[in-house]
Structure 1
Amino acid sequence: MTQSVVVQVGQCGNQVGCRFWDLALREHAHVNKRGLYDEAISSFFRNVDSRKSDGAAFGVGGRIQHLKARAVLVDMEEGVVNEILQGPLREVFDSTQLLTDVSGSGNNWAVGHMTYGSAYREQIVDKLRKAAEQCDCLQCFFLIHSMGGGTGSGLGTRVLSLLEEEFPAVCRIVTSIYPSAEDDVITSPYNSILAMNELTEHADCVLPVENQSLVDIVNKIKVMSHGAKPGLIIKRNSTVTSGQGGLSGAEKPFDAMNNIVANLLLNITSSARFEGSLNMDLNEIAMNLVPFPRLHYLVPSLTPLYTLADINVPPRRLDQMFSDAFSKDHQLIQADPKHSLYLACALMVRGNVQVSDVRRNIERLRPSLPFVSWNQEGWKTSLCSVPPVGHSHSLLALANNTCVKPTFVELRERFTKLYRKKAHLHHYLHVEGMEQSFFSEAVASLSSLIEEYHHLDATKAKLMPDAPRLSIPR
């Protein structure tokens, strides 16, 4: 059985990671009623009960015994990590796998990447090695971080480069939370551009998630929950925003948004954690969806966002789930894939769904989805028999699509507005090891990436068949 390690960096990374661990434990407790330590649990958890190597007790909402998450938690402020250690999941994390400081990175990529990256390099490498040594067959590192702040963007991408340096053969899948245009961190365009350069160079796959898309999904679910349409009743605890998520205290505004990202991770790891008729190996994601090494940004789309109270699933609703996966309303970034070019697409299905259902829907949707000419059959599918708790079935679509280009163009524009005036630049250049050339290299890398997507988009017109012409009798 293969294992994976989750690396959580910064406030956002640790909050999302904590909610992932809580949801994962809920799923395993729901499926594994006797609480036995099995191969499914071993994929992301260690059994530290030396008295009973073939079994482990675990639960949700109370003390968790014997199981330890295969995780490394890093933050240069100790607030969130301390909150996790005081919450219901405190027993899940090994104290030797935590690394915190007190002062934070001051929303400065250079402080996170250069200052803390150098100061804590050996400790980070040591914790990563220990986590890897506790795996029988290490398959993947999942890195969770945000792009707008200092620790997530700076130290997060430094950790990514260390992963490539220390474990070059192990797949690196990164979930990156991108700031919205109205972000309250004034330097977030600088941090995001500098982090993008690192993601393009050192990640195998990046799952970009935009804060604004998360806000829109949360609002959409709220509207539905309050009965926007008569006769549609949302099943209790069935939305992707439900659940306390392992932190103590009252729900915070970002909790529902973090829960959506945790569900993304829950679904992408489902084949590694549970059996299915057509499981997808985590290494296959990059192998099948990334034809060019730099173009590894995969647009995630989740459906359903909620389950209706009538749990019988007619084929029509199942088909609707597949249609929704290609709708911009269900994507975790604001983009329209149907008007852009697909390089490849993965459909990761959970629950009681048949291979025939998947094939039927691919054939139904294929004519409306423009694929590159050399990869018309660029579909990868997986079927996991265990649905998320509260749902009868679910679907995660991962699209390698040129629709990410506008997100990157907007990011570059926001960067240029600041950089043209040299605003706040001195905060970065005062950091030891940081040079102005880092900015020019980062924006050049992003411009090159945008150009590569633009070049592919230019081929789309040749792929789309001409509309049938109206013949007028003479």
Structure 2
Amino acid sequence: MTQSVVVQVGQCGNQIGCCFWDLVLREHAAVNQKGIYDEAIGSFFRNVDTRVVGDSGNISRGKIGSLKARAVLIDMEEGVVNELLQGPLRDLFDGKQLITDKSGSGNNWAVGHKVFGSLYREQILEKLRKSAEHCDCLQSFFILHSMGGGTGSGLGTFLLKVLEDEFPEVFRFVTSVYPASEDDVITSPYNSILAMKELEEHADCVLPIDNQSLFDIISKIDLVVNSGKSGAVVKPESLVTSNDGALKRRHKKPFDAVNNIVANLLLNLTSSARFEGPLNMDLNEISMNLVPFPRLHFLVSSLTPLYTLADVNIPSRRLDQMFSDAFSKDHQLIQADPKHSLYLACALMVRGNVQISDLRRNIERLKPTLQFVSWNQDGWKTSLCSVPPVGHSHSLLALANNTCVKPTFIELRERFMRLYKKKAHLHHYVQVEGMEESCFAEALSSLSALIQDYHELDVTRNMPGHDVPRLSVAV
């Protein structure tokens, strides 16, 4: 069994990580009734005393026993990490795997990347090495961060380069949360553009997620719960919705619900690594099969059915609808419409009571409605994990390498240019040692080249298939 290490950077990364570990523990407690430390648990946890963990209570939420998460927690403001260490999961994290500061990055990529990167490089490296030493077969690092703030964007992407240098053979999978257009951090376009260049150069796969799409999904779930037509009942302790249909703790912790959706994405993504199934997918196969060009490694994700995200009991819908929904723009975790854009490749990661024949039948049913590049018409990768999400019969995570990410990057560039043309707030960046204005020009050029690569692919959609050459983009 292979192992993975989760690296949580910044406020957003650590809050998502907290939701992820909570869900993983619930899942393993439901599957592993005897609470014995086994290979499935070992993929993301280590047992510090090597003895039997105990009854199932020891791997359930809040009663961790001897389990420690394979995680490194980093934040230049100590508030969120301290909150985790005082919460129900406090025993899950090894105090030696934490890095915090008190000053914060001031929503400035340059401070996170240049200042704290240089200051904490050796400490970060030491903790990454220690995490790797605890693994028998380290397969991947999962980096969780946001693009809009200073620590997540700056130190999070600095970390990528450290990982590439120190562990060049270990897969780097990044979950990046992009700010909404109405983001309250005025410098978020600068931070996002500067971080994009690092993601292009040093990540193996990036799952871009935008806050607006997450909030839209929460609204859709609320509508389902409150419609009165489906017989939907919210489960106790739901992380997303409350019985009145409003977001829980809306004023206290407004991002709890959206963080839970991202955590569910990771839960489904790692299910094959944690549990057996008739069609298991190795995580490295995602990069191998879905990334035909090195730089075009931004994968659009969707989760279905949506009600599984809200812990909602609802009468079962047709299985075929779950597959159809995965390609609908209403289920994407970024503002995108993959069905009307060009696919380079697609992965379907199914969990639960689904047969391989169901998978193949739905692929054949959907293929005529989707546009794939001419040289990869059969660019499907599939996995089937026998263990469904807790309390549900099945779920599906779809990952698509699709040109529909282009509008997200174009909008990001436009927001950047509105600030950059006025040189607004630029002095906060260039006064940081090692940061020059040319860094902005280079990042902008890099993003424009990426957009052009997607555009070159996109324009082939209306060409006769036999006339379309293999493109040499992003080599």
* DSSP-derived class of the 1:144 partner: strand
- Distance verdict in 2 for CA 1:357–1:251, change over 3 Å: farther
CA 1:252–1:240: 2 relative to 1, 3 Å:
closer
1:471 alignment counterpart: none
| Range moving further from structure 2, 448-457 or 382-391 | 382-391
The alpha carbon displacement at 1:237 in A equals: 5.5
> Residue in 2 aligned with 1:221?
221
Alignment of 1:120-135 (within 5 A): 120-135=120-135
Q: Residue in 2 aligned with 1:305?
A: 306
- Report the more deviating stretch, 453-462 or 57-66: 57-66
Aligned to 1:470: none
Secondary structure in 2 matching 1:459? helix
Please give the per-residue CA displacement for 1:49-104, whole angstroms capped at 9, x wherever unaligned: 24558999723343311000000000000000000000000000000000000010
What does residue 469 of structure 1 align with? none
1:370 — aligned with what?
371
Distance in 2 (alpha carbons) for counterparts of 1:453 and 1:431: 33
Counterpart for residue 105 of structure 1? 105
Correspondence for 2:229: 230
What is the match of residue 451 of structure 2?
Answer: 450
Structure 2 contact 344–373 (Cα < 8 Å) conserved: yes
SS, match of residue 306 in structure 1? helix
1:172-191 equivalences in 2 (<5 Å): 172-191=172-191
How far residue 249 of structure 1 moved from its aligned partner, in angstroms, is: 12
1:80 corresponds to which residue? 80
Provide the C-alpha distance between the structure 2 equivalents of 1:399 and 1:50, rounded to a whole number of angstroms: 40
Q: Could you say which residue in structure 1 is the equivalent of 2:332?
A: 331
Q: Tell me the SS of whatever aligns to 1:440.
A: helix
Please give the TM-score of this superposition, normalised by the length of structure 2.
0.93
Distance 1:179 1:141 in 2: 23
Residues 344 and 448 (structure 1 numbering): CA distance in 2 closer, same or farther, change over 3 Å? same
2:23 is aligned to 23
Asked if structure 2 preserves the Cα contact closer than 8 Å seen for 1:67 and 1:92, the reply is yes
2:436 match: secondary structure: coil
Runs of 5+ consecutive residues of structure 2 not aligned to the other structure: 243-248, 467-475
CA offsets 1:323-374 (integer angstroms, 9 cap, x no match): 0000011100001111110000000000010000000100010001000000
Give the SS at the match of 1:106.
coil
Q: 1:90 to 1:463 in 2, by over 3 A?
A: farther
Residues 201-239 of structure 1 show CA distances to partners (whole Å, capped at 9, x for unaligned) of: 00000000000000100111111111x252442452597
User: In the TM superposition, what are the counterparts of 1:272-291 in structure 2 within 5 Å?
Assistant: 272-291=273-292
Amino acid at match of 2:324: S
Answer yes or no: is the 8 Å Cα contact 1:240–1:260 preserved in 2. no
Q: CA RMSD in A?
A: 2.1
Partner of 1:266: 267
Distance of aligned partners of 1:301 and 1:388 in 2 relative to their CA distance in 1, 3 Å threshold = same
| C-alpha distance after superposition, 1:127-177 (max 9, x if no partner) | 000001100000000000000000000000000110001000000000000
2:14 maps to a residue whose letter is N
Q: How does 1:53-202 map to 2 (within 5 A)?
A: 58-202=58-202
TM-score of the two chains, using structure 1 as the length reference? 0.93
How far apart in 2 are the matches of 1:236 and 1:51?
A: 34
Given residue 287 of structure 2, which amino acid in structure 1 is its aligned partner? A
> What is the DSSP-based 3-state SS (H/G/I as helix, E as strand, rest coil) of the residue aligned with 2:139?
strand
Contact 1:301/1:396 (CA < 8 Å) preserved in 2? yes
Aligned-partner SS, 2:258: helix
Cα offset, 1:426, TM superposition? 0.2
> What's the CA shift for 1:390?
2.2
Cα deviations by residue, 1:272-328 (Å, 9 ceiling, x for unpaired)? 0000000000000000000000000000000011157455x46xx100000000001
Partner of 2:472: none
Q: Which moved more, 1:366-375 or 1:228-237?
A: 228-237
Contact 2:45/2:68, CA 8 A, preserved across alignment: yes
Q: Residue in 1 aligned with 2:398?
A: 397
Distance 1:249 1:234 in 2: 20
Counterpart-to-counterpart distance in 2, 1:442 and 1:249: 36
User: Which AA in structure 2 matches 1:118?
Assistant: S
Measure, in 2, the Cα distance between the counterparts of 1:374 and 1:264. Answer: 29
Is the 2:239–2:256 contact (alpha carbons within 8 Å) kept by the matching residues of 1? no
Q: Secondary structure at the match of 1:398?
A: strand
The 2-side partners of 1:157 and 1:9 are apart by: 9
Q: How far did 1:376 drift?
A: 0.2
> Quick one: structure 1 residues 408 and 321, their matched pair in 2 at CA, closer, same or farther if it must change by over 3 Å?
same
Distance in 1 of aligned mates of 2:262 and 2:64: 23
Q: Which amino acid aligns with 2:421?
A: R
Q: Distance in 2 between matches of 1:237 and 1:365?
A: 36
Partners of 2:7 and 2:322 in 1: how far apart? 31
Q: 1:412 to 1:66 in 2, by over 3 A?
A: same
Describe the SS at the equivalent of 2:59.
Answer: coil
